[in-house]
Structure 1
Amino acid sequence: MTNGDTDDSSSDVPTAVVLDYLPHGRSSDDRPQYEKEPLAFAVSTGAFRLYEMVLTDDADISIGDRVPVDRGAGVERLHQIDYEDLPGGAQSELAYAIEDIIDADTQRFVDFYNDAQPITTRLHALNLLPGIGKKLRNNILDKRKRRPFESFEDLEARVSGLHDPKEVLIERILEEISEEDLKYRIFAQRDSE
């Protein structure tokens, strides 16, 4: 794991939010019930990586819990997976988990609007966000020059045309997690990156 996966506390152990918990393993697993292992699916709080975790029989984990992304604390083993590998229940929980991650570390995401820089001479990181074109980007840049944004509410109040800046981030993060062939990633990293 990289430091990009550390949570919003000062701990070096990465954390993840549980998206789904399957106490009897996957239903598509044809093995007898006694051979199936309890599973959890989670998204890391730092780099939005997806994990499948094989749990110990006594693991006490529920959807929405924050768990360390390592062995121990009920986790027997884990590995990173792609979006397509998530069961339907985990996919439907993903947006809520991302919102929870943003709410728990709001300043980190407000600072994205404060600190975003050009990616190339023709493309700015802000333009990667859904609904932000040249005019809205320039408006954000102009307002942040005068004074950094303090919250999502401050951002929305000062930048005309930017509605629900947190939802814009959620949409972008979901896109980065679910789309394999994106040229630019701001939030969701993959192991090869």
Structure 2
Amino acid sequence: MQSYNKDDTKEEYVRVLDYLPYGHPSDTRPVYQKRPVIQAIGEEHLSLLEIVPKKGKKADPYDRLYVGRGLRDVADYVKRRISYDDLTNAAKMELLNVIEEIVKDNEGRFIEFFNKSDSITPRFHHLEIIPGIGKKLMWKIIEERNKSPFTSFKDIEARVTTLYHPEKLIARRIEEEIREDNIKYRTFVKPFVKQTEFKKS
């Protein structure tokens, strides 16, 4: 499982979930005081973020935005990290599909999970946190990776013929870790801790 430190919410790139031209509905300030916000998920740490765009800029779901240090095209600054409950209904509807896109675009990173995961307890293997993977599939995955490491999601499907769309299963687990505060054996997403807004940078 991952270990976390205070810098683990820093993201370089995000994928857009929703664009709110009049700010978040929970913001009770007068409309003239509000700025548009973007709800997005980070590619590296899978943190949910609220981003203030530059004046005159907007974003659409699935857009990839740079939010790291230096020149940014769309993002003005990252306002804060948010929880699943802070997402709009539209963002929640897009979340799983956007996560799946991130997983597919970072295939090697998630293939490592299938190749290197180990037992968590004497009776429970790390592979079993993935929805749809029980003991039988777990042992088949271990048997195949012991022959040679997996190289892609297609390679996993070809060699473990009863495991379909492993990228979708990984995405479902990530969504669960984002959605559920008290999930056991958290692996991919740092637990959400409510915080004050980030300083503009």
Give yes or no for TM over 0.5.
yes
Other-structure match for 1:65: 63
Normalised TM-score (structure 1): 0.86
Q: Which amino acid aligns with 1:54?
A: V
What do the CA deviations read for 1:42-82 (whole angstroms, capped 9, x no partner)? 11111211111223323343321222345762323421111
Q: Indicate the RMSD between aligned Cα atoms, in angstroms.
A: 2.2
Q: In structure 2, what is the Cα distance between the partners aligned to 1:81 and 1:28?
A: 13
Normalised TM-score (structure 2): 0.83
**Match runs of 1:19-98 below 5 Å:** 19-70=17-68, 73=72, 74-98=75-99
Q: In structure 1, what is the Cα distance between the partners aligned to 2:58 and 2:114?
A: 37
**Match runs of 1:31-180 below 5 Å:** 31-70=29-68, 73=72, 74-180=75-181
Q: In structure 2, what is the Cα distance between the partners aligned to 1:134 and 1:78?
A: 43
Count of aligned residue pairs for this structure pair? 186
**8 Å contact kept, 2:22–2:37:** yes
Q: In structure 1, what is the Cα distance between the partners aligned to 2:62 and 2:145?
A: 34
Structure 1 residue runs without a partner (length 5+): 7-12
Other-structure match for 1:9: none
Distance 1:151 1:76, change over 3 A: closer
Structure 2 residue runs without a partner (length 5+): 194-201
Distance 1:43 1:156, change over 3 A: same
**8 Å contact kept, 1:5–1:14:** no
Q: What is the Cα deviation at residue 28 of structure 1?
A: 4.8
What do the CA deviations read for 1:112-165 (whole angstroms, capped 9, x no partner)? 111111122222110101111111101100000001112111111111321211
What do the CA deviations read for 1:147-184 (whole angstroms, capped 9, x no partner)? 11121111111113212111111111111110111121
